[in-house]
Structure 1
Amino acid sequence: MIDRRCLLALLAMGATIGSLAYAQSISKIRLVLVHGRGQQGLKPETLKSEWLQALRQGAAAIGRTLPNDLSVAFPFYGDDLQKFVDEFNLPLASEIHAKGTPEQDEYLAFQAEVAEAIRQRSGVTDMQVDVEYGQNPKPKGPLNWEWVQAILQAVDKHGGGMSQGAIEAFTRDVFLYVTRNRVRDTIDQIVSAGITDEPSIVVGHSLGSVVAYNVLRTDQRKLRVPLLLTVGSPLGIRAIRDQFRPLRFPLPVKHWYNAFDERDVVALFPLDASNFAVTPQIENYGLVRNKTSNRHGIVGYLDDQQVAGRLIEALAA
């Protein structure tokens, strides 16, 4: 027969173990991966596997591993974004040959501002742009499609990394997201559904970093995000940044870590006090050497030792 004191001790021990198990269950951190543009037609599970494999490689390089029971969400909006691209049918600068509609002019002005920011930051000179523009007598300006095309051609040749076509497609897709409410709301709903009220580390790549920022700054739920990790982010480009004024640090986020490769033309601007002034300040890491051909690919960011290490630390916190 069990002594009464032993019984009480066993009950207390059971309660303690139960409390610890409960605490662990509610504090377990999830991982939410928010992809960028150009993913239409691809399988979300395949993409998620590629992201995780790159993270594992980065972790292995510093002697660490991802938890085996890690819960990972990969909210996929690639096909929905492509539907909007097809619906709006905005021509790239290289496809414009005559004066367009007011919507096309708005888009061209946006693209011109992005292209000019990239040109200046990547060190492409006015003379190099003039060579691409040739003897064209038309006045230079943001609504002159030939001038915008000349800037993009010069960046393609002298800025390194991303091609003219890739930059044009990138700016078109970002333009649709930041300026068209229906596009933004649809994509935000998809990504928001992947973030639950459990503690979640959110990783955003390229356009995905823009989406993640907007979702976390506007979501009315009491979310808990110990780390927002952005890689290859274009948020520092004024034409994109200004769409979110007044800027503010997302309330659910405890820490924001932004990693970029200085050769990645989409992410040339660090998210610092000059380019993305918020309080508390964002921690920037600009020593990534992205091994992908355009210096912008997700694999070349997630297999970086510092990036993978920061994520592992947050998972273990």
Structure 2
Amino acid sequence: MPKNRAAVVFIHGLSKKPSPAELKRIWLWGLERDNPMPSAFPAPNRGVKLGSNGVSTSFCYYADVFYGDDYEQDFHAYYEHASAQSELAVDGLAEADPLFKSASGVTPREQAFLQAFEARLEANLHLNDPADAALIASGAAGYEVAGFLPRAVRQAVIKKAAMEAYYYLFDKQYTRRDGATFQVRSALRNKLLQTLAAASAEAEKVILVSHSMGTMLAYDVLRNCPDCVPVDTLITAGSPLGIREVQDELIAVDAKRIDFPDQKLTHWINIYDPLDPICGADPRFANDFLAVNGKAVTDIREPNWGSWRHTITHYLAGSKMRAAIAEAAGISRD
């Protein structure tokens, strides 16, 4: 049987999610619809329809490691006109998760990581990017950074992001509510390795589209797992990989600094909104990740909309992100 022209693997971001099938449906809806939010992305902004163009899709779904089958049931905040509070709620970010307790035996290095990571997000949740001043002014309440959030909500966002990063980067043991126990980094790596291998078996090339905390997993597997299959294009969106403390924990054993994973990857495109509180602390990567053998990160600035700009469907509506996915998959949008 001939292979598909390409396979796209999606990786979601932090916190609790809808079921795997529902989340995949939401991501595809976000990518496929024509001319979404024309106030942010002027028409024409045609959707990218992967399946009808011979491109297979699959999901590396890892929320079950933390939450089992306790799926998010409220999906409306993934759609256009939700409030910032409802977008936070649908990602489980409006309140801290009591299951994320500080692990026992925290080392000084781990404590320093948590303090620095939280400090960077705390600062970013209060700051606007001056380059977006006109956009914020013209958009009234629709365009503002998340500094308006109550302090308790901001702290919940910061704590959950920090704890997921911590459990992953330091491969901490996590016990779910049902008693199942995982070594987080090992478990998530295995999930992505298996998903990529399956995609590679059915397609000529693999494209990896990642969001938020999922971008850490994507980079880690491409750079630090020798048994990872080759990937043609990595697309990161709303990524915390610009945070130095994250980079410090992802440096390969054969490298002196963080670098492009050239042995497994051909192209890397990083899409960022400077008002996204998760990536805004340091949204550009080309100046951090050392180019290797002529391969370097391409940073693309694409502001989306709203008071909470981290939502994946906001990114998937972007004309630049859509163009990047379509080009990688060999799909014409004319």
Is TM (by shorter chain) over 0.5? yes
Which structure has the bigger radius of gyration? 1
| 1:255 counterpart (249, 259, 267) | 267
Aligned to 2:161, which of 159, 170, 176? 170
Q: Which runs of 5 or more residues in structure 1 are unaligned?
A: 1-21, 92-99, 126-154
Please list the CA deviations of residues 283-317 of structure 1 after superposition, one character each: whole Å capped at 9, or x if unmatched: 001222244x4211111111101101110111117
Structure 2 distance, partners of 1:156, 1:59, is 29
Q: Answer yes or no: is 1:110 the counterpart of 2:82.
A: no
Aligned to 2:24: 48
Q: How does 1:72-151 map to 2 (within 5 A)?
A: 72-82=57-67, 89-91=100-102, 102-103=105-106, 107-119=110-122
Deviation of 1:102 (Å) = 4.2
Q: Which has the larger displacement, 62-71 or 193-202?
A: 62-71
User: Residue type of the partner of 2:249?
Assistant: Q
Residue aligned with 2:115, SS: helix
Q: Does 1:180 align with 2:180?
A: no
Q: Secondary structure at the match of 1:201?
A: strand
Matched, 1:283 2:274: no
CA contact (8 A) 1:261 1:295 kept: yes
How far, CA to CA, are the matches of 1:221 and 1:180 in structure 2?
19
**Whole-angstrom CA distance in 2 between matches of 1:158 and 1:261:** 19
Q: Which residue of 2 aligns with 1:264?
A: 276
8 Å CA contact 2:274, 2:301 repeated in 1: yes
Aligned length in residues: 253
| Structure number with higher strand proportion | 2
The structure-2 alpha-carbon separation of the partners of 1:64 and 1:77, relative to structure 1 and needing over 3 Å to count, comes to closer
Cα distance in 2, alignment partners of residues 278 and 164 from structure 1: 36
Match of 1:303 in 2: 317
Q: Distance in 2 between matches of 1:265 and 1:301?
A: 14
TM-fit CA distance, 1:167: 1.6
Is 1:201 aligned to residue 207 of structure 2? yes
Asked if the contact 1:259/1:288 (under 8 Å) is kept, the reply is: no
The code of the aligned residue for 1:260 comes to Y
TM-score normalised by structure 2 residue count: 0.66
Residues 203-248 of structure 1, C-alpha deviations (whole Å, 9 max, x = no match): 1101101101111113334733221000000011011111012423
C-alpha separation between the residues in 2 aligned to 1:87 and 1:267?
A: 24
Separation in structure 2 between the aligned mates of residue 58 and residue 192 of structure 1, nearest angstrom? 33
Report if the CA contact (8 A) 2:48-2:322 is conserved. no
Give the letter for the 1:210 counterpart.
M
- Using a 3 Å threshold, how does the CA distance of structure 1 residues 172 and 65 change in structure 2: closer, same or farther? closer
Q: How far apart, in 2, do the equivalents of 1:195 and 1:261 lie?
A: 27
Q: Which residue of 2 aligns with 1:66?
A: 49
Deviation per CA, 1:269-289, whole angstroms, max 9, x where unpaired? Answer: 134344333432200012222
Q: 2:33 aligns with which of 54, 57, 78?
A: 57
CA contact (8 A) 1:58 1:308 kept: no
* Cα deviation digits, residues 102-151 of structure 1 (max 9, x gap): 428765432220133335566759xxxxxxxxxxxxxxxxxxxxxxxxxx
Change (3 A) 1:82 1:156: farther
Matching residue of 1:135: none
Give the Cα separation in 1 of the matches to 2:118 and 2:228.
38
Q: Deviations over 1:23-57 (max 9, x none)?
A: xx3461001001112135x3101000111111113
Match of residue 41 from structure 2: none
Aligned-residue offset at 1:164: 2.1
Q: Does 1:31 align with 2:8?
A: yes
- Give me the TM-score of the superposition, normalised by structure 1: 0.70
Given that 1:123 and 1:159 are in contact with CA atoms closer than 8 Å, whether structure 2 keeps it comes out as: no
Relative to structure 2, which stretch is displaced further, 269-278 or 208-217?
Answer: 269-278
Q: CA RMSD in A?
A: 3.2
Pick closer, same or farther for the CA change 1:123–1:278 going to 2, 3 Å: farther
CA distance in 2: counterparts of 1:45 and 1:285, whole angstroms: 29
Richer in helix (by share): 1
Contact 1:124/1:159, CA 8 A, preserved across alignment? no
